Amino acid sequence: NFGTVETIPEAFDREYLSPVQIGTPPQTVNLNFDTGSADLWVNTNETPENQQNGQVEYNPTLSSTAKKMEGATWDITYGDGSASSGIVYTDVVSIGGVTVQSQAVESAQQVSSSFQADAASSGLLGLAYGTINTVQPVQQKTFFENAMNDLASPLFTVNLMKQAAGSYDFGYINASEYTGEIQYTPVDNSRGFWGFNPSGFQVGNSSFNASSWYAIADTGTSLLLLPSGMVDIYWSAVSGAKFDALQGGYTFPCNTTLPSFTFGVEEYRGVIPGHFMNYAAITKTTCFGGIQSSDALGFSIFGDVALKAQFVVFDGGDNTLGWANK
- Is residue 323 within 8 Å of 312, Cβ to Cβ? yes
For the bound state, the minimum distance from the C-beta of residue 16 to ligand 45M, rounded and expressed in Å, comes to 11
Which of 190, 187, 186, 169 shows the shortest CA–CA distance to 178? 169
Nearer to ligand 45M, 172 or 214 (CB): 214
Of 36 and 166, nearer to ligand 45M (C-beta) is 36
Q: Where along the sequence are the contacts to ligand 45M (CB under 6 A)?
A: 34, 36-37, 78-80, 82, 124, 216, 218, 220-221, 297, 299, 301
Are 202 and 284 a contacting pair, CB within 8 Å? Answer: no
Contact 188, 248 (CB under 8 A): no
Q: What is the smallest separation between the CB atom of 173 and ligand 45M, expressed in angstroms?
A: 24
Sign of CA dihedral 110, 307, 194, 300: negative
Quote the least distance from Cβ 34 to ligand 45M, whole Å: 5
Q: How far is the CB of 119 from ligand 45M (least distance, A)?
A: 16
DSSP per residue over 64-125, as a string? TT-EEEEEEEEEEE-TTS-EEEEEEEEEEEEETTEEEEEEEEEEEEEE-HHHHH-TT--EEE
Min separation Cβ 150 and ligand 45M, Å: 26
Residue number with CB closer to ligand 45M (157 or 294): 294
Return the sign of the alpha-carbon dihedral for residues 122, 74, 3, 6: positive
What are the residues whose beta carbons fall under 8 Å from the beta carbon of 235, sequence distance 6 or more? 241, 242, 243, 250, 252, 289, 291
Q: Which is nearer to ligand 45M, 208 or 299 (CB)?
A: 299
* Catalytic annotation present for 34: yes
Active site (annotated) includes residue 315: no
> Exactly one of 13, 34, 91, 118 is catalytic; which is it?
34
Out of 39, 91, 218, 304, which one is annotated catalytic?
218
What's the one-letter identity of residue 13?
D
**DSSP tag of 172:** S
Residue (194 or 252) nearer to ligand 45M, CB: 194
Give the separation between CA 144 and CA 161, rounded to whole angstroms: 22
Closest-by-Cβ residue to ligand 45M is: 79
Start-to-end CA distance of the chain, whole Å, equals 25
CB of 259 to ligand 45M, least distance (A): 26
Nearer to ligand 45M, 34 or 91 (CB): 34
**DSSP β-bridge partners for residue 44:** 58
Enumerate the active-site residues: 34, 218
